Amino acid sequence: METSPRPEIRYATSGDVSIAYHVLGDGPPDIVVAPGALSHLEVEWEYPLYRRFFERLARFSRVIRFDKRGTGLSDRFADHRLPTLEERADDIRAVMDAAGSERATVFGSSDGGTMACLFAASHPQRTSRLVLYGTEITSEADPTDEEIAARVRRARAEWGSEAQARRDLARFAPSVADDPEWISWESRVTRSGGTPGSFAALLRISRDLDIRPVLPAVRVPTLVLHRVGDRVVDIAQGRMLAAAIPGARLVELPGADHYHWIGDADGIIEEIEEFVTGVRDPAERNRVLATVVFSDIVDSTARAVELGDRAWRQLLDRHHAVIRRELARFDGVELDTAGDGFFARFDGPARAVRFACRAREAVRELGLEIRAGIHTGECELHGDKLAGVAVHVGARVAAIAAPGEVIVSSTVRDLVAGSGLSFEDRGERELRGVPEPWRVYAVTAT
């Protein structure tokens, strides 16, 4: 219950190369995903926004994901020989064969879009539709061998470091470029997804990229998705791509993030769902991943009786002012206030934990003690209100906190790994109204 079951990793054989893949959902239809430059099926699956994107696709299809040769769990490049575009496209066929897919929508993201185009042109009998996101059809600036060598030297010195992650996120995901959680995750994907050597190979492949001769031969229904502010692949590339593929439909999306699972990911999924199935799922449009925090004052009734109505009201106003000050400090959003309790939302679980701990210390200066509970999960968004099972879990986690404690669900604890936060395991607990037990943790240090 804590996270979605990790899909089983399987291997397809493409020539003498083993290609790692996994399958989500049941289908039909099938969607085969050709990923961007670096990927790692297991590490990426650990991050909620990434996982959520493909779980949403799997609600209306059977999703087949794989790591390209040279990356992730697939075989690395042998003898430093660069794979041809034809070999990379043939990996799609090998994965489809291994997964028992006769015909599928091929979804090419970023670098994966080039191999998806060649596959669709070469195997129209096995391609029902083609979806391209953030795809470059020809290199905009050809680096020299010396420039590539300099970039590779820098990569070897910084591979998987925080400095490299910050620099990459500034281009690939500017909306989260300063988020410590995303920086940590980007570093992990880089280290596990490839090596400086594979990065060098990808640079050389990209330099020689030009799939314009292939595009007129793509004769399957094609959807081209591109964000207008994409800092990695200019929107002009998406427009050229749509113009060159007969009958292709271009959808220009708002935003500057190149990663499709960040930003308005639901908008991308809705476009794909309508293109593949002919309908959209309106019930799923208003769902969002959020971290919820519930707090309340310990023994508030006894304090109110002790102080009297007027003094208690004044103290409660000071408490509310402190909580709201800390919410603003940590970018939290107040959703509801009932008596002495607060219900708030955060975009990042680490910020939520730090808010709760800081608020706990701040209200102690008023002579008050609070307790708090924190959970991260998918919520229903109704205007500016949140609802759903994740909200109930957060409220129940708060209810089991002792005076002065900040208790988090195992989901929160897993998501903030590497953030410097420390926890004490409090075991599995039954949460009232929630069908299965949850493991919870007390925050011990921030």
* Rounded CA separation 341/362 (Å): 15
What confidence score (pLDDT) does residue 389 get? 85
* pLDDT band for position 87 (cuts 50, 70, 90): confident
- In this prediction, residue 293 carries a pLDDT of 96
Examine the pLDDT at 182 and tell me if it is beyond 60.
yes
CA contacts within 13 A on the Cβ side of 115: 29
What secondary structure does DSSP assign to 155-200, as a single string?
HHHHTT-HHHHHHHHHHH-GGGTT-HHHHHHHHHHHHHH--HHHHH
Structure tokens at 426: 């409090």
Whether pLDDT at 11 is above 60: yes
Q: What is the mean pLDDT of residues 343-350?
A: 90
- Contact (CB, 8 A) for 406 and 360: yes
Task: Give the integer Cα–Cα distance in Å for 376 and 319.
Answer: 25
Q: Is the pLDDT of residue 204 over 90?
A: no
Residue pair 270/285 in contact (Cβ under 8 Å)? The answer is yes
pLDDT above 80: residue 418 = no
Q: Does the pLDDT at position 359 exceed 90?
A: yes
Residue 338: pLDDT band by 50, 70, 90 thresholds?
A: confident
On the question of pLDDT at 283 being above 50, the answer is yes
Q: Report the alpha-carbon distance of residue 413 to residue 151 in Å, rounded.
A: 36
d(CA 218, CA 246): 7
Residue type, 326: E
Q: How many CB atoms lie within 10 A of CB 171?
A: 14
Measured distance CA(437)–CA(428) in Å, rounded: 6
pLDDT band at 190 (very low <50, low <70, confident <90, very high): confident
183-194 as b/e: b if 16+ CB within 10 A? bbbbbbbbbbbb
Looking at every residue in the chain, the average pLDDT score rounds to 87
Average pLDDT rounded to a whole number, residues 128-154: 81
- Which domains does the chain carry? 10-282 (3.40.50.1820), 287-445 (3.30.70.1230)
173's CB contacts (< 8 A; 6+ apart) are 182, 186, 257, 258, 259, 262
CA pair distance 13, 20, nearest whole angstrom: 9
- CA dist 206 and 201 (Å) reads 9
Higher-pLDDT residue of 283, 19: 19
The rounded distance, in Å, linking the Cα atoms of 224 and 230 is 14
**What is residue 202's predicted lDDT score, i.e. its pLDDT?**
73
Confidence bin at 2 (pLDDT 50/70/90):
very low
Output the pLDDT for position 195: 80
Residue 248: how many CA atoms within 13 Å on its side-chain side? 27
Residue 259, exposed/middle/buried by CB under 10 A (0-12, 13-18, 19+)?
buried
Tell me: pLDDT of 80 over 70.
no
pLDDT of residue 3: 44
For residue 75, CA distances in Å to 32, 198, 283 come to: 19, 11, 41
Higher pLDDT, residue 32 or 136: 32
Distance between CA 359 and CA 378 in Å, rounded?
Answer: 25
Question: In terms of pLDDT, which residue wins out, 249 or 138?
Answer: 249
Confidence class for position 4, pLDDT limits 50, 70, 90: low
Whether pLDDT at 208 is above 70: no
Does residue 134 contact residue 227 with C-beta atoms inside 8 Å? yes
pLDDT of residue 1: 35
- What's the token pair of residue 418? 């590497």
Nearest to 120 by CA among 225, 219, 241: 219
Q: Is residue 50 a contact partner of residue 122, using CB atoms and an 8 Å limit? A: no
For 37-57, what is each residue's pLDDT tens digit? 888 999 988 888 888 899 889
Instruction: Name the band, by pLDDT with cuts 50, 70 and 90, for residue 287.
Output: confident
Mean pLDDT of 6-10: 91
How far apart CA 55 and CA 435 sit, in angstroms, is 22
